């Protein structure tokens, strides 16, 4: 049987990633929280499931924000069974906009309270 390629999420190439779209994507509190959590996760494994962010809103709204993150080039999504594993496109972003992602994440970390971000220890999850 022919695999359903229409279910493979579309990602921009590295060169197609645009600065204004990335900044706009990061300016939404929910998407910033997702990116922040993905950045914390980078230390442990590199990927998280969409479902790991259910604290941030309704399912369909998260799907909307994950699509935006993917379409602007901030994240890469891979289908595993019924789940989607998402990770930051750190290499592409660092190549395209050196220092930007780290500056945003560090700035977010400093304002974690104000931005209502999850504390680091909660991110890695439970076994």
Partner DNA sequence: TCCTATGTTCAAAGTTTATTGAACTATTGT
Partner DNA sequence: ACAATAGTTCAATAAACTTTGAACATAGGA
Q: Which residues bind DNA (CB under 7 A)?
A: 4, 7, 9, 24, 28, 30, 49-51, 57-68, 77, 81-84
Residues of the shown chain interacting with a second copy in the complex, contacts defined by CB under 8 A: 18-21, 23-24, 26-29, 32, 96-100, 102-104, 106-108, 110-111, 114-115
Measured from the CB atom, is 85 or 115 closer to a second copy? Answer: 115
Distance of CA 52 to the CA centre of its chain: 12
What CA–CA distance (Å, rounded) separates 118 from 109? 10
- Residue 125 binds: one of a second copy, DNA, none (C-beta under 5 to 8 A by kind): none
3: number of Cβ within 10 Å: 7
Measured from the CB atom, is 28 or 42 closer to a second copy? Answer: 28
- Residue 32 binds: one of a second copy, DNA, none (C-beta under 5 to 8 A by kind): a second copy
Tokens of 33: 């929280």
Closest Cα to residue 22, out of 9, 37, 12?
12
- Residue 55 binds: one of DNA, a second copy, none (C-beta under 5 to 8 A by kind): none
Per DSSP, the chain holds a count of helices (H) and strands (E) of 6, 3
Q: Which one-letter DSSP state was computed for residue 63? A: H
């Amino acid at each position: 049987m022919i695999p359903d390629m229409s279910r493979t999420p579309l990602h921009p190439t590295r060169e197609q990633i645009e600065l204004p779209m990335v900044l706009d994507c990061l300016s939404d509190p929910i998407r910033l929280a997702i990116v922040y959590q993905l950045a914390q996760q980078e230390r442990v494994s590199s990927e998280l499931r969409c479902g790991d962010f259910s604290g941030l809103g309704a399912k369909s709204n998260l799907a909307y924000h994950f699509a935006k993150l993917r379409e602007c080039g901030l994240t890469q999504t891979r289908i595993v069974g019924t789940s989607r594993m998402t990770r930051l496109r750190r290499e592409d972003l660092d190549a395209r906009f050196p220092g930007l992602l780290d500056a945003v994440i560090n700035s977010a970390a400093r304002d974690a309270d104000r931005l209502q971000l999850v504390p680091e220890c909660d991110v890695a999850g439970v076994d």
